[in-house]
Every structure is written in structure tokens, then in C-alpha cells.
Amino acid sequence: MIHTADQPAAAITPIVADSADFATLPATWYLFSRSTDVAGKPLSKSILQRRLVAYRTAAGRVAVLDANCAHLGADLGRGEVVGESIQCPFHHWNYDANGKCVSVPNHRDVPRSACLRSYPVVERHGYIFFFFGPRALFPLPFFPGSDPNEMSASSPFRFEMDCPWYMLPGNGFDTQHFYAVHDRKLKGAPQVDCPHEYARRMRFDAEITGTSIYDRLLKRFVGRDVQISITSWGGPHVLVEGVFGRAHSRILIISQPLGENRTLSDVIVFAKRSRNPLQAAFVDRLNLRVRRRFTQAFMRYDIDKLSGVRYQPSGFTPQDRDMIAFFEWLTTLPRSEYEAAK
């Protein structure tokens, strides 16, 4: 279902959901690490306000589990990979990729309680992604019409912000900020739809009106008009596309809540991979670096200006209707079964 944001402002009543209705830890896909980080030994880290561990089995499968052993809580990231299992460094309890304890030294029977939460995993473009929940509610998203196998990915850049996690994807549905912050003048009303049960998208045409060195280069080499698409999958997993006259940008932004008002975001830029191996090794790498630098410059304004932003329903106006609708949509998303568990 699609609607355009050209209704009379007076017809919109800015009544929005309470922030208590938003998930604390949304059920979506998150970035764990590079694939090479778990090439040999397990890797544990604090993420989503808990400790998780990733390891690669002898068969090559990557598993993500809760990192603390069900026995006495030892960190499995300090353990070893034994065949298809990960072994606790303390008493050598072994867990399979589904989190089930499969063996305990000197014990014939494994305690029924000896199991860990496991998370769905996908490896793509040299990164490990996991879904926060016992089962994935939707496949790992990618850009419509693009084959992941034909794309290459940049190294991520990371930033931490003083704002709740939902303010960052909500910012993508704030039409006023594109002109005020990014010097992008909308040409007509945006279109908003839900291409999937767990996805919300906004699309619009814009003109680049900025005078920064990056905007001048964009206008000179790729064109001053851009078609922008922003899609939130489950909340913090956001795909951004910009189609210029002579270029196509693709950006993935994954944010993880650090607390009530702290958010950590990773940004990965994508570009089409060359079929020529020599060109792929040199030209593609340079292409990604340039795109990554322009993306950093574009997002720098959000990073600077979103600091300290809070969810204040009393401050919304009718002009915020697309952002209001986004926040209302967030309240309809299912909570992860793992949200309350630590």
C-alpha cells in the first residue's frame, strides 16, 4: 500500500505512540564481525547488551551463540573449536552450532538444562550477520533488483550517537531534515509503502542544492538530481539507495542499541563488482574507497546534529506526518523472544 505525503496539513493529527511501545532490542539482522575474524579461534564480544560468541565449525559453518557456558558462565570465546562444536575453556563442555551441549567430560548424561541460545547466521560479502531471535522473521535484506553476488562491499565505518536507536531510522523518514541538514530539496511528495511485512520504505526525488566540495563534485560528475529510497527492515537495519544521472549508490546502516539513549551504527557501502579480475582488484577497491568517503561526508551532518535528539511526541507537528507514521509502524513489529533474556 502506497500513500503520498500531499494531504492538507490540517487533516493530520500528530498523535504518536509512546516510546515504551518500541522494542528495546529489535528483532532484525545485525552485524557481528568480519568473516576472517572467526577463521580459526572463536570470537566473543558484547553486543545487544549481552555476550555473544561466533565460531566456525570444521565443516565451515558459522554459528553465533550466547557466550557464557551453561555450567558456570565461562566465556566460550576463550575456548576452542572441536570439530562441529565449541568447547568451554573451563570444564570442556562442548556445544554444537544449535547451542545444545553434546558432551561433558566424565559424564554419561548431559544435563537437560545445558543449552545456549543460538542465532540465525548469514555470511555475505565477507561479513557475519545474525538475527536477534531464535528464528529469522525475514531473510537478510538486500537492495531490490541487485544480486549480492555481483556486488562488492567496503570496509565499514562506525559512529556512536547520543540518541535512542529509533531516532536514527526515524531520521530517514523526516522529510524536513533532508533540506535543512543535507541540502537536498524534495521535488514533489514522497511515496511511503511497506514492501514487506517487516519493512517500511520512503522514496522521493530531490535536487542537490548544497555548495560543499562533495556536493559540487556530485553535481559536476554524476548530476544534480537524485532518486532516493530508504527502507527500514525491522527498525535498525536500513538500506539506502541513491540513483543519480550517472551513478547508483547503495548504503547499509545497521544500528545497535547500547542503552536507552546511546546507539552504535555500522555503515557499509556497496558497488558493482567488475568481471575482470585485474580491474576488480584495483579499480573496484578505489571505487569503494571514493564512495565510502562521500558517504561519510554525507552522514557527517547527521552524526553532528542528531546528538542529543530525543523522542518528544509533544513536539511533533503535522509536517512530521511521515516520521510519525514510521514510529507508529515500529510499534506493530513483533518483539524478539530474546529481548528480555540476558
- CATH classification of the domain holding 101: 2.102.10.10
In this predicted model, what pLDDT tens digit does every residue of 147-201 receive, in sequence order? 999 999 999 999 999 999 999 999 999 988 787 777 788 898 999 999 999 999 9
Query: Does one domain contain both 81 and 115?
Result: yes
Query: Does one domain contain both 187 and 301?
Result: yes
Residue 40 sits in which domain range?
29-131
Query: Does one domain contain both 202 and 269?
Result: yes
pTM reported for the whole predicted model:
0.91
Asked whether residue 342 is domain-assigned, the answer is no
CATH code of the domain containing 252: 3.90.380.10
Determine whether 180 is exposed, middle or buried from the number of CB atoms within 10 Å of its CB (0-12, 13-18, 19+).
Answer: exposed
Residue with cell 529489535: 26
Query: Does one domain contain both 152 and 114?
Result: no
Query: Does one domain contain both 58 and 146?
Result: no
The predicted structure's pLDDT at residue 7: 45
> What secondary structure letter does DSSP report for 177?
H
In this predicted model, what pLDDT tens digit does every residue of 263-288 receive, in sequence order? 999 999 999 998 887 777 788 899 99
In this prediction, residues 134-148 reach a mean pLDDT of 97
Query: Does one domain contain both 111 and 231?
Result: no
Query: Does one domain contain both 222 and 197?
Result: yes
> What secondary structure letter does DSSP report for 109?
S
Residue among 200, 198, 259, 201 nearest 229 (CA): 201
The predicted structure's pLDDT at residue 1: 46
Number of domains in the chain: 2
CA distance 48 to 64: 13
CA distance 82 to 96: 10
> Is residue 12 predicted with pLDDT exceeding 70?
no
Average pLDDT along the chain: 91
Residue among 247, 142, 227, 249 nearest 178 (CA): 227
What nine digits make up the cell of 312? 518528544
Query: Does one domain contain both 100 and 208?
Result: no
In this predicted model, what pLDDT tens digit does every residue of 278-318 receive, in sequence order? 777 788 899 999 999 999 988 887 787 778 899 999 889 88
